[in-house]
Structure 1
Amino acid sequence: MTHHRLDAARQTLVLATPANGLPICTYWGARLPDNADLAAVATASELDLTGGMLDANPALTLCPQSSAAFPGQPGLVVRSVDGAPLRPVFSKAATKRSDALSLSYGDAALGLTLTFRFTADEATGVITASTTLGSTSPILCDWLAAPVLPGPQLADGMIDVAGRWCDEFQPVTTSWSAGIRTRDNRTGRTGHEHVPLLYLPARGCTNTGGEAHALHYGWSGGHRMLAEELPDGRRQVQFGHASGSDLLPGQRFVTAPLYLAFSDTGLTGCAVSFQRHLRDRIVNWPKPDTPRPVHYNCWEAIYFDHSLDALTAIADRAAALGAERFVLDDGWFKGRDDDTTSLGDWTIDTAKWPDGLTPLIDHVHSLGMTFGLWFEPEMVNADSDLARAHPDWILGPMDQPLGRGQFVLDLAKTDVRDNMFNQISTILDAHQIDYIKWDHNRVLPFNDAAQTRGTLDLLHRLRTTHPKLEIESCASGGGRIDFGILHHTQRVWLSDSNDALSRLRIQHDAALLLPACVTGSHVGPRVCHTTGRIHSISFRAWVAAQRHMGFEMDPRELTEDEAATLTKVTAWYKANRDWLRTADILRLDSADPTVIAEQQQAADGSRFVVFAGHAGTSAQIAPRPLRLTGLDPTATYTIDLANRNDISSLSRGTPALKSGPVTLTGRSLMSQGIALPYALPDSMWIIEGHRA
């Protein structure tokens, strides 16, 4: 038996490779000492035998096999091209270890090879794993799991993520019990409903304390997740493409990367590892030294009603408020007056834009802003020149239900991708456009991994040809957010809801995966278009300033006081965005369930800002103290309210923060916390802290 270990910051993964058979994960948890006896670790994890069992426990390998009498779900399901099931028996072939650990196994009789690959990132604390299946002749692959790992024993539940349009990133807690918790996402995209993310908190784990394991599958198509507890008590976790994603026979199948994190400081420790890894290893920044610009998006100001006069007036107002990027949304291309027509025909509408987009772009540039444009390249309307010319380019049957009045283009086809590339690139070549908002407004008619690969190929080709271009991933809001799409894009539109109260919760839970710098958040209209709620401009602005800030309303609706408040908050964002770009988002445990709070902390720990949002009316009269996290217990910190002007007249007491700065030790701030001034529902306190 040979043993391999991978270390990444606070976690260690140990693999045992027997002389014959597939490798087994014998340990995944807190970092082991450098001199740990790995053979002893493996021996300590071996199970006893008793009545009603086989004479040996079938191993929970990195790819459990039915041929080995494994009693749970297999990690590989393959068939010959005539549909007959194949049951491979793999034996060891090769091991390579340099910057990555690669373990290869073969079944000579069936002509199959299975390779597991692992890398460990000490700086971000993330271990990345993947599985590759090769075949000497074409086969059908119904299911291939990324390396299968054991679930923790001292855990009562698991947290995966669901959601819907305008209410994304909803954590779902399920108890471990005999049987399977599974998700098999058939929508063909990551989806609002099935985010490929799983947290496994140990008993007693909170946001800021206790042990947690976490896994993210970095794939932008349909995915499958299962967490199974076997009759003998062992637990396994599998991630892979949705079952049956590869519709055609092939000779090589590769899972997406599976990203692994472990924390002994609560859920937040895993979240920080994912945030850092995405920001520093996954996203390819076209201009890495450029501050994240304040957006203006015109969608909820004008919808399809484009006119140069209105948009130049809006641009003037947006620039005066502090916007630095102007994005022209849906409605600019030929015949696009509503969402039933013209997708696929990416030429400028001469009825709306008789002189083209250049006059607007020039005006935006004269105001010191860059220019961005909306596309939805994966879709086509039946009422379009493209669909009439190429009905064979539509994915699925013509009588399928439409989604938002549109079909999906079959991007697995090279000529379809070439057409989209040429249309988009022509627009980019003819105009000074720095940014694309890339939308995806319907699910696929059926799950197909080739469609996802085609989309990623098109994105890669555009970014290679236009290397300074930044792209936002939008899919009716947060319908496609994962490390796979973010390898080719630099921003996500987290939700189509600009309701600040909804956003407060969505942003808080999305921080389990996403850093602030990629998470778009906009100040919406006074009356929210998706909920009808009305929030103060202060609350709307501060919620947007928690992430990559922008505006998405008609700025001409603002009163002088509202404009002054928005300008002030925008200036605060600009003054702090450089250090906030690399800050960790630490989700806080609040004693008051109506308070949703987080602490964004600089990489060197020298400063932080706490956003404490009041999402409802508290059960008690006075606000409960808020405890911070991640501070040096022996250091002293000066904290102060950044928005003292928001204190309500109903606050009649004298809490320390109300009157001025307070200096306390890190231990005090993390143990006793700090008393907040009274706050109305739907409001936010901003507490800035600096280490002395």
Structure 2
Amino acid sequence: MTQYRIDDAHSTLVLEETASLPRIAYFGPRLPDGEDLGQFLLSTALDLNGGMLDELAPLTLCPVGDGHFMGQPGLVIAGLVPRFRAHVAASGAELTVTARDEALGITYRAEIALDGVLALQAVVESDAPIRLEWLCAPVLPVAPGQDEIVEFSGRWVGELHQHRHRFAPGARLREARQGRSGQENPPFALTCTPGASATRGEVTSYAYGWPGGHRMLAEELPCGRRQVQFGHVHGSNGMGTRFETGVLTVARSGAGFNDAAVVLQAHVRDRLVPWVRPNRPVHYNCWEAVYFQHDLPTLSDMADRAARIGAERFVLDDGWFKGRNNDKSSLGDWSIDRQKWPHGLKPLIDKVKSLGMTFGLWVEPEMVNPDSDLYRAHPDWALGRADQVTGRYQLVLDLGRQEVRDYLFAAISKVLAENDIDYLKWDHNRLLPVLDAAQGRGVMDLMARLREAHPGVEIESCASGGGRIDYGILTQTTRVWLSDCIDALERVRMQATASLFLPAAVVGSHVGAFHAHTTGRNLPMELRAWVAAMRHMGFESDLTAFTPAEEALLTEVTAWYKANRDWMHAGEIRQLESEPGRTGEIQIAKDGARFVAFAVQTDMPEAQLPLPLRLTGLEPTARYRVTLRNPGTAPGPSRGPVALKTQSLTLSGQALMAQGLALPLSWPATLYVIEGTRL
């Protein structure tokens, strides 16, 4: 059989033809240029055992239930089992596989590209309508030795929990049936060698790009081979003539989770996101300050305070449109509430602009309240059954219908055209009553139309917090809202996990109230401010409740963020391996000339004294000047000769990574900020 090879600087993929569809025979560290692929593949041929068929079925790009391959199929068409004959076309670092079953009139196409990341996408087309039950992106076999899989789950205000377990015989299904990328089963996974950590072990990272309901299947076959499939549900009845998956983006590392993470961070930042302004402005969002109670004097005062602290964008959240005094009415009626805003939004926008800030607005276009003019006029526009249970007192509009998208485009475009608005916080608070790919395609189309009509407007993806974060929605948005929980200790955990797939520049992180609204925990300003400054910074609180000392500290940290965001957001995030109760990360400039490390004490330490904080990702032979920015954080019992409390140090990268830095004692809910400059 013919083999095809594509490479980038660090990896090689080998594709081998079979009697049906090709298979990915290898994806791993780059092979030598002269590697004999015929000999290489002979060395991987597996034996047969008793009780098996007389020929081992290949694990192809799209296994079908043809009676030969006995595992989970990657393509299921009601009543049909295609028998494909394939052709492979190679162009540079890209492969296109086209396969056809002439008798059934069905074509399968796979696109494979390798350039830093591996991108995989599949399309099925039929001459006549078919009922598609399942189609996955091209299948990548799990690399030998990667015996563990890391999955993710969550809930509202509790996103991105990690679950790590060993593969076991059989298939494991994780499915997001809520119609969003989902807190419950976000579209990410990793496979790894046992014991892999931030800096050690072999890792493969998977990110599926689709904003609607999706499915991940991980299977260990009886013969020991393993596969991972990602795809999405295509419709309530699945009928059609053309179906395509989202893009499955894959990164690999031979040196722990960090190396795969920084590849994906760069891919999102440099290729996926449609930047309007890469320099990420400091946000002030008024939601937790006023909720639905809008009035010009109060919000003007908040704008004064936000600008004084250093905000550069003022975001008016929910409650600005006609009749919207709580969450029970008015979604769908996207016109300005003239009772709250008799002169429109212009007086507030003018105030915000006079303070040197731009203006942003909250919207939830995909939703409708039964108590709304829109629903009373068009009840048939709601997705799902007429007698369905509401969610947060609302229904979902059917964005698969052109007239619905046209209405929403016109309504929101009118608000944007008549007001100086540069940002939309785009929310999505109702789970979908039915799964249909048309809804995902519809929202992407609506966002694209609005961006084309208003090219200066950025869009943030928010869905009950982190309910729609994926590599599909990021092709239309410049920011994601990680969670409605802005408790800084919770955010430290979430932000660390998100860094496996997302760069700092796209992750919104805000300074909340002293008494967190979603956890009831009281946290000091120093922690709240610095945790927000670790990502795309903002504040979201009643600023009148800040003490003068808190406002001064937040002003200082905001100024630090502004001075450093350019290099931080163009660089990389690596997690540090820390002792229990402490979470650490380092952000390193793209040219390696500077870094900042954060050591957050989340719980009471187990040991009497903290272990040295070992850094990572530095040049071993380079020398760095290292400074502890906030030595005053050290608690009263800290009375030892820790050098960083009183002076800077000059150390090699090797010393910082091998031995690390001794830090002062720390109490829970405190952190240290260590800055480094390469000499």
Q: What is the TM-score when the length of structure 1 is the normalising length?
A: 0.97
| 1:183-194 equivalence runs, <5 A | 183-194=174-185
| 1:374-413 equivalence runs, <5 A | 374-413=362-401
1:557 aligns with 2:570: no
1:684 aligns with 2:674: no
User: Does the 8 A contact of 1:141 with 1:246 survive in 2?
Assistant: no
What is the CA distance between 1:41 and its match in structure 2? 2.2
Q: What residue number does 1:82 align with? A: none
What letter is aligned with 1:671?
Answer: A
For residues 299-333 of structure 1, the C-alpha deviation after alignment (integer angstroms, 9 at most, x for no partner) is 00000000000000010000000000000000000
For residues 464-485 of structure 1, the C-alpha deviation after alignment (integer angstroms, 9 at most, x for no partner) is 1111110110001000001100
For residues 164-210 of structure 1, the C-alpha deviation after alignment (integer angstroms, 9 at most, x for no partner) is 11111111112111111211211111000111111011123111112
What is the CA distance between 1:9 and its match in structure 2? 3.5
Counterpart pick for 2:250 among 250, 260, 267: 260
Change (3 A) 1:246 1:446: closer
Q: What residue number does 2:28 align with? A: 29
Q: 2:629, 2:321 → 1: CA distance?
A: 44
| 1:596-635 equivalence runs, <5 A | 596-635=583-622
SS in structure 1 opposite 2:352? Answer: helix
What is the CA distance between 1:651 and its match in structure 2? 1.1
User: Does the 8 A contact of 2:146 with 2:192 survive in 1?
Assistant: yes
Q: 2:542, 2:85 → 1: CA distance?
A: 65
Counterpart pick for 1:357 among 345, 353, 361: 345
User: Does the 8 A contact of 1:215 with 1:258 survive in 2?
Assistant: yes
Q: 1:593, 1:448 → 2: CA distance?
A: 43
What is the CA distance between 1:53 and its match in structure 2? 1.0
User: Does the 8 A contact of 2:8 with 2:93 survive in 1?
Assistant: no
Q: What residue number does 1:161 align with? A: 152
Q: What residue number does 1:4 align with? A: 4
What is the CA distance between 1:99 and its match in structure 2? 5.8
What letter is aligned with 2:280?
Answer: R
**Which sits farther off after the overlay, 86-95 or 335-344?**
86-95
What letter is aligned with 1:295?
Answer: H
What is the CA distance between 1:68 and its match in structure 2? 4.9
Q: What residue number does 1:118 align with? A: 112
1:334 aligns with 2:322: yes
**Which sits farther off after the overlay, 340-349 or 205-214?**
205-214
User: Does the 8 A contact of 1:139 with 1:249 survive in 2?
Assistant: yes
What letter is aligned with 1:270?
Answer: A
| 1:241-252 equivalence runs, <5 A | 241-242=232-233, 245=235, 247-252=237-242
Q: What residue number does 2:511 align with? A: 523
Q: 1:185, 1:247 → 2: CA distance?
A: 18
Q: 2:90, 2:197 → 1: CA distance?
A: 39
Q: What residue number does 2:231 align with? A: 240
1:222 aligns with 2:213: yes
What is the CA distance between 1:646 and its match in structure 2? 1.9
What is the CA distance between 1:287 and its match in structure 2? 2.8
User: Does the 8 A contact of 1:10 with 1:263 survive in 2?
Assistant: no
**Which sits farther off after the overlay, 326-335 or 62-71?**
62-71
For residues 222-268 of structure 1, the C-alpha deviation after alignment (integer angstroms, 9 at most, x for no partner) is 111111001111111111113x5463421111110010110012011
Q: Size of the alignment, in residue pairs?
A: 679
Q: What residue number does 2:46 align with? A: 47
1:460 aligns with 2:448: yes
What letter is aligned with 2:64?
Answer: Q
User: Does the 8 A contact of 2:580 with 2:606 survive in 1?
Assistant: no
Q: What residue number does 2:576 align with? A: 588
Q: 1:325, 1:526 → 2: CA distance?
A: 22
| 1:339-350 equivalence runs, <5 A | 339-350=327-338
For residues 510-561 of structure 1, the C-alpha deviation after alignment (integer angstroms, 9 at most, x for no partner) is 1111100000000001111111111110000000000000000011111111
Q: 2:60, 2:67 → 1: CA distance?
A: 10
What is the CA distance between 1:69 and its match in structure 2? 1.3
| 1:289-688 equivalence runs, <5 A | 291-590=279-578, 592-688=579-675
Q: 1:8, 1:685 → 2: CA distance?
A: 38
User: Does the 8 A contact of 1:27 with 1:41 survive in 2?
Assistant: no
User: Does the 8 A contact of 2:7 with 2:93 survive in 1?
Assistant: no
Q: What residue number does 1:106 align with? A: 100
Q: What is the TM-score when the length of structure 2 is the normalising length?
A: 0.99
Q: Which runs of 4+ in 1 moved over 6 A?
A: none
**Contiguous gaps of at least 5 residues in structure 1:** 80-84
What letter is aligned with 1:37?
Answer: D
For residues 67-92 of structure 1, the C-alpha deviation after alignment (integer angstroms, 9 at most, x for no partner) is 1511100010012xxxxx10111012
- Identity across matched positions, percent: 53
Change (3 A) 1:254 1:246: farther
User: Does the 8 A contact of 1:117 with 1:129 survive in 2?
Assistant: yes
**Which sits farther off after the overlay, 367-376 or 208-217?**
208-217
SS in structure 2 opposite 1:86? Answer: coil
What is the CA distance between 1:22 and its match in structure 2? 0.8
User: Does the 8 A contact of 2:5 with 2:15 survive in 1?
Assistant: yes
SS in structure 2 opposite 1:66? Answer: coil
User: Does the 8 A contact of 2:60 with 2:139 survive in 1?
Assistant: yes
Q: What residue number does 2:62 align with? A: 63
Counterpart pick for 2:81 among 58, 77, 87: 87
Q: 1:9, 1:407 → 2: CA distance?
A: 49
Q: 2:494, 2:418 → 1: CA distance?
A: 38
Q: What residue number does 1:280 align with? A: 270
For residues 465-512 of structure 1, the C-alpha deviation after alignment (integer angstroms, 9 at most, x for no partner) is 111110110001000001100100000110001101111111011111
User: Does the 8 A contact of 1:222 with 1:245 survive in 2?
Assistant: no
